[in-house]
Amino acid sequence: MRRALILLTLTALLPLPSAAQVFDIGSGNTATSQQQQQETPPETLAEPQLTVDLPEAPVIPGQPVVVRMKVLVPTWLSKPITFPPLEVPNVITRLGERSTTPVSETVNGETWSGVSRTYRLYPMVAGDFAIPPQELQVLYAEPGKTEPLQASLQTPEIRFSAALPQGAEGLSPFVAAERLEISETIEGTPDALIPGASFTRTITAKITGTTPILLPQLLGADSLPGLAAYPAEPVITESENRGVLSGTRVEKTTYVAEAGFEGSLPGVALSWWDLSKNAVQDAGTDPLALFSDGPTPAAPESTPESRLRLYLALAAGALLLLATGMLARFLAPRLKARRTARHAAYLASEAHAYALLKESVAAQDYGASLTALSLWEARLGGARATELRTALQSASASAYGGQSASDWSAVCRAMEKARAAASRTETSKRQAALPPLNPGTPA
């Protein structure tokens, strides 16, 4: 009780703040809060980031250069990114099944999302390669707004190189792989042929660790006299398993015996670089023995006689060319004069006059039609096409009399009818001019 009285006494002795002082403190705090809000800038999103990773050391030709391209945005992507193709001469670009994957990383304590693209570039030859910078368009979301933000990113210049390993300088062509097998399949009996019989030789190269596109042609054009070769187009099949390329190259040739012979076709041989052993290995097949029971092909003509025949053929060709030129020079003026005469005859013919008339009527030109009609009548020997003139005058009256349409179809019908009548008249004249078939027979 005594302690409570002491506390009450002390409280009464302490000065209390006035109402004005309480308002000033509150208003001061409120002004400071508003000033802080005005000075705090609106939150802005950071720009997207693009990183490109690639190995710096040279690779062996035929082996992949792995290029990883990653784009990160502070929010999320509004539209898939169209990555550049990364194409360059003498380089094969491959994208695996999961070459493009979503990613997320922590940037400055915040979680960013994006996408990653992995390229595998296979240099086919040794040398230095460069891919120029390319642009990427990125659309990403802005919180609280429907329209996405857009940013344009540029890739750096991508440089890489390929070099032959030590000890493989003499390989031509250079093929590096983890495994290479060459096998041969024969359909038929190449050692028991007769003229007209055939057999098929198939060479299959199976490679692992690179693309079969790098494999060279395995079967050459080797043959024997009396043996015809018919090669088919090579068949190349490529596959990929977890980024490792492999495949096959199949070459097939059909041989047909045309005469008797005995010999062999050379085997297939290919030296290649073994990636697992870092050494040169050999792969191939043995030579193929051949025999055909039949007459041997005729021996080729001797070289001097062949050259003589070639010279004679060239001389004969030159003489023929010279004679052709002289004949053309002699006949050219006559042919030109004949063409000129034929053209002049056509211009003076009834057919040409009728063509002019037909063209004028089709154009519905009354003046030109009347002129062409007079010319055509003159070519007919002065005959008058009365019905056609009447139709022309009627069409002209319709056109110049203010009517909406003129009957030129009647002119066309009258013109065809007049031409048919003129043709019959001309035929009758020619028949009357012919002599009788039997002059001695009384009419």
pLDDT digit string (tens) for 8-53? 343 444 444 433 333 333 333 333 333 434 443 445 778 999 999 9
Query: What tokens were used for 33?
Result: 């809060």
Place of tokens 């000065």: 15
* pLDDT at site 299: 59
Structure confidence at residue 300 as a pLDDT band (50, 70, 90): low
Q: What is the mean pLDDT of residues 267-278?
A: 94
Torsion of CA 405, 411, 412, 414, to 10 degrees: 150
Per-residue pLDDT averaged across 52-59, rounded? Answer: 92
pLDDT cut 70: percent of the chain above it: 82
Across 32-41, 90-99, 262-271, which has the greatest mean pLDDT? 262-271
Q: Which residues, other chains included, contact 343 with Cβ-Cβ below 8 Å and sequence gap of 6+?
A: none
Distance CA 198, CA 227 (A): 9
Query: Residue 439: its pLDDT value, please?
Result: 58
**What's the pLDDT tens digit per position in 371-408?**
877 887 787 776 677 787 888 778 777 655 555 445 77
pTM of the model: 0.55
pLDDT digits (tens, 9 = 90+) for 203-248: 999 999 999 999 999 998 778 899 999 999 999 999 988 878 999 9
Is 2's pLDDT higher than 60?
Answer: no
Supply the Cα-derived Rg of the chain in whole angstroms: 49
Percent of the chain whose predicted confidence (pLDDT) is above 90? 47
3-state secondary structure string across 311-361? HHHHHHHHHHHHHHHHHHHHHHHHHHHHHHHHHHHHHCCHHHHHHHHHHHH
Contact present, 155 and 69 (Cβ < 8 Å): yes
Distance, CA of 269 to CA of 286 (rounded, Å): 9
**Four-CA torsion 371, 375, 378, 379, nearest 10 degrees:** -160
Q: Which residue has the tokens 């063409």?
A: 339
End-to-end CA distance of the chain: 178
Contact 198, 255 (CB under 8 A): yes
Distance of CA 129 to the CA centre of its chain: 25
> Which H, E and C letters describe the chain, residue by residue?
CHHHHHHHHHHHHCCCCCHHHHHHHHHHHHHHHHHHHHHCCCCCCCCCEEEEECCCCCECCCCCEEEEEEEEECCCECCCCCCCCCCCCCEEEECCCCCEEEEEEEECCEEEEEEEEEEEEEECCCEEEEECCCEEEEEECCCCCCCCEEEEEECCCEEEEECCCCCCCCCCCCCEECEEEEEEEEECCCCCECCCCEEEEEEEEEEECCCHHHCCCCCCCCCCCCEEEEECCCEEEEEEECCEEEEEEEEEEEEEECCCEEEEECCCEEEEEECCCCEEEEEECCCEEEEECCCCCCCCCCHHHHHHHHHHHHHHHHHHHHHHHHHHHHHHHHHHHHHHHHHHHHHCCHHHHHHHHHHHHHCCCHHHHHHHHHHHHHHCCCCCCHHHHHHHHHHHHHHHCCCCCCCHHHHHHHHHHHHHHHHHHHHHHHHHHCCCCCCCCCC
Q: Note if the bond before 173 is cis, omega within 30 degrees.
A: yes
Calculate mean pLDDT across residues 81-105.
Answer: 91
Range in 79-93, 143-157, 244-258, 301-315 with the lowest mean pLDDT: 301-315
Asked if the model's pLDDT at residue 317 lies above 80, the reply is: yes
| Whole-angstrom distance, CA of residue 257 vs CA of residue 195 | 5
| Angle of CA points 158, 164, 167, to nearest 5° | 160
Residue type, 178: E
For position 359, what pLDDT does the model report? 84
